[in-house]
């Protein structure tokens, strides 16, 4: 009986520590600041164990019976702690309150375990042996748990299932105790039946854990995914972390709501404010409506035409309340005309002229997208420029993809356009580059719309300065029959990710 008893100690010690680690990890993932989370949770937990130990003295009779009950309660509370916390984070404002409450409850129950167990077995051993053996196996259990947790449990099972698994261990200990302490227990059958019911309950949780995991835990490693859809054209994912909404197209970050104003103000205003009396604007790409939001700051405009391939994308950004909050319902303006079409054929067949043209496509990660960065494309776009017209091209990062950036500049030059490259700092992207291109000289604007948060008249000239680590590189132009840009882009990003 001795060794079985001490294995019980080892198991319950492991369970206690696992619940504590899960709470700490969850809080760090969800709230950040892991030092604060782990410190407060360990503190609360140890303190609660102290309360449990103190309370143990008020238990006089039915020690074994109460031990079984404690194990059952721990199994349920600890086992479901992780799932409960995830759901609380997703659906309530009371995540932290619930978390500390759970930590305290678990701590108290764990605090009760060892004193009661020691009292149950005190008759069988000498006091010094009881203390030595119980505490030895207690600490061994802690060691086992602390090693298992990062190496096996989190990577293999995830937080929800790890908690449930150790809930099962607690209940198994309860069931086992009904055999171990059979002589001291009344109504053994009833207790065993209860143990089995709770076991089934936890097992059901384990089976269903995948659904909770799928809904929440996978995303906890990054941010919470609030929208995911495969359209005909791309894979759209929206994530939210606190107040930061991010859009990913085919897993490439398109914007972060925390700093996208920097990107979109820089994309639009240095160019559009420099066009005298603009009336008509064309946006190619930009299905998130954020560039259009900036363009709508020019009340003199008569029409804004947006050509984006994916109708689901423009529909999403016209209807989803969180997203129309970001683009200030720009797609609902009566000036905006949305055309869902492949940009190159549209540019080729349409004959309208525009005073300002925004080219805001995803980076040239493949040859299909690369066609939209070629001399042939820019020549076709330039035919739509009015006499005073300007165009601006999002041109990837002159810092991380320096060759690619200057390749785009060269491509515009070879398309018989004057080029004015500039760059800004967008925290979620890093240094980001744009190019203004036109048939005539460009002069930076002296007046901007009111209320901009980033672009200012005084700040614009410095955007056109390139420090040595981003200065021009000699690159050939990107052409339909020789897409050097896609290869350069691929190489640029390989260089920084290895």
Regarding 480 and contact with another protein (CB under 8 A), the answer is yes
- Of 8-16, 63-71, 206-214, 366-374, which part binds another protein (CB under 8 A)? 366-374
In this structure, the number of other CB atoms found within 10 A of the CB of residue 157 comes to: 17
CA dihedral 297, 291, 386, 421 (to 10 degrees): 110
Regarding 367 and contact with another protein (CB under 8 A), the answer is yes
Report, in Å, the least distance between residue 317 CB and another protein.
19
Is residue 82 within 8 Å of 110, Cβ to Cβ?
Answer: no
As a whole number of angstroms, the distance between CA 409 and CA 473 comes to: 10
Report, in Å, the least distance between residue 217 CB and another protein.
29
Regarding 374 and contact with another protein (CB under 8 A), the answer is yes
- Of 23-31, 197-205, 385-393, 473-481, which part binds another protein (CB under 8 A)? 473-481
Q: Which is nearer to another protein, 234 or 257 (CB)?
A: 234
Report, in Å, the least distance between residue 343 CB and another protein.
7
Q: Which is nearer to another protein, 104 or 376 (CB)?
A: 376
Regarding 216 and contact with another protein (CB under 8 A), the answer is no
Q: Which is nearer to another protein, 72 or 236 (CB)?
A: 236
Regarding 368 and contact with another protein (CB under 8 A), the answer is yes
Report, in Å, the least distance between residue 460 CB and another protein.
32
Out of 2, 32, 62, 345, the only residue in the binding site for another protein (CB under 8 A) is 345
- Residues from 280 through 319 that contact another protein (CB under 8 A): 309
Q: Which is nearer to another protein, 20 or 308 (CB)?
A: 308
- Of 85-93, 185-193, 327-335, 362-370, which part binds another protein (CB under 8 A)? 362-370
What strand order describes the sheet that includes 354-360? Answer: 336-339, 303-307, 280-285, 354-360, 385-394, 430-438, 418-426
- Of 299-307, 382-390, 423-431, 477-485, which part binds another protein (CB under 8 A)? 477-485
- Of 55-63, 78-86, 276-284, 340-348, which part binds another protein (CB under 8 A)? 340-348
Report, in Å, the least distance between residue 396 CB and another protein.
17
Regarding 33 and contact with another protein (CB under 8 A), the answer is no
Regarding 256 and contact with another protein (CB under 8 A), the answer is no
Q: Which residues are catalytic?
A: 360
Partnered with residue 241 across adjacent β-strands are: 244
Q: Kindly state the tokens that stand for 213.
A: 């995991």
As a whole number of angstroms, the distance between CA 38 and CA 20 comes to: 9
Out of 344, 442, 454, 493, the only residue in the binding site for another protein (CB under 8 A) is 344
Regarding 342 and contact with another protein (CB under 8 A), the answer is yes
Nearest to 161 by CA among 193, 202, 124: 202
Q: Which is nearer to another protein, 47 or 344 (CB)?
A: 344
As a whole number of angstroms, the distance between CA 249 and CA 266 comes to: 21
Alpha carbon 288 to chain centroid distance? 19
Size of interface with another protein, in residues (CB under 8 A): 26
- The distance in angstroms from the start CA to the end CA of the chain is 57
Residues that bind another protein (CB under 8 A): 232-233, 309, 342-345, 348, 365-372, 374-377, 479-483, 486
């Amino acid at each position: 009986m001795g060794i079985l008893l001490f294995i019980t100690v080892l198991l319950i010690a492991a369970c206690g520590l696992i619940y504590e680690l899960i709470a700490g990890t969850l809080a760090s993932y969800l709230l950040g600041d892991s030092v604060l989370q782990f410190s407060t949770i360990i503190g609360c937990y140890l303190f609660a164990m102290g309360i449990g130990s103190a309370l143990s003295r008020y238990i006089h009779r039915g020690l074994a019976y109460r031990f079984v009950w404690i194990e059952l309660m721990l199994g349920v509370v600890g086992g479901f702690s992780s799932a409960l916390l995830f759901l609380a984070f997703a659906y309530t404002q009371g995540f932290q309150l619930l978390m500390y409450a759970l930590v305290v409850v678990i701590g108290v129950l764990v605090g009760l375990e060892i004193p009661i167990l020691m009292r149950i077995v005190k008759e069988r051993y000498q006091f010094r042996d009881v203390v030595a053996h119980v505490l030895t196996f207690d600490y061994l259990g802690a060691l086992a748990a602390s090693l298992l947790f990062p190496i096996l449990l989190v990577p293999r099972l995830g937080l929800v299932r790890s908690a449930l698994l150790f809930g099962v261990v607690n209940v198994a200990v309860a069931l086992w105790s009904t055999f171990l302490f059979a002589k001291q227990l009344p109504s053994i059958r009833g207790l065993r039946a209860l143990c089995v019911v709770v076991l089934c309950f936890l097992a059901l949780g384990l089976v269903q854990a995948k659904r909770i995991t799928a809904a929440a835990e996978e995303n906890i490693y990054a941010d919470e995914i609030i929208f995911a859809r495969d359209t005909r054209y791309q894979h759209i994912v929206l994530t939210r972390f606190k107040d930061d909404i991010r859009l990913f197209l085919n897993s490439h970050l398109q914007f972060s709501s925390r700093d996208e104003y920097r990107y979109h103000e820089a994309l639009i205003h240095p160019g559009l404010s420099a066009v005298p009396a603009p009336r008509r604007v064309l946006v190619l790409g930009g299905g998130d409506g954020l560039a259009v939001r900036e363009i709508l700051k020019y009340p003199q405009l008569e029409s804004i035409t947006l050509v984006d391939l994916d109708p689901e994308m423009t529909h999403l950004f016209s209807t989803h309340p969180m997203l129309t909050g970001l683009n200030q319902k720009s797609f609902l303006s009566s000036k905006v005309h949305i055309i869902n079409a492949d940009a190159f054929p549209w540019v080729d067949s349409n004959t309208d002229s525009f005073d300002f043209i925004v080219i805001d496509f995803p980076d040239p990660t493949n040859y299909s997208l690369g066609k939209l960065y070629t001399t042939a494309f820019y020549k076709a776009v330039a035919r739509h420029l009015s006499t005073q017209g300007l165009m601006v091209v999002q041109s990837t990062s002159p810092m991380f993809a320096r060759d690619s950036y200057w390749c785009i500049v060269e491509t515009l030059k070879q398309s018989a356009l004057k080029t004015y490259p500039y760059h800004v700092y967008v925290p979620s992207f890093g240094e980001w580059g744009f190019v203004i291109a036109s048939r005539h000289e460009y002069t930076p604007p002296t007046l901007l719309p009111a209320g901009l948060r980033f672009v200012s008249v005084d700040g614009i000239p410095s955007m056109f300065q390139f420090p040595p680590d981003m200065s021009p590189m000699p690159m050939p132009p990107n052409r339909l029959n020789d897409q050097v840009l896609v290869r350069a882009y691929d190489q640029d990003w390989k260089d920084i990710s290895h």
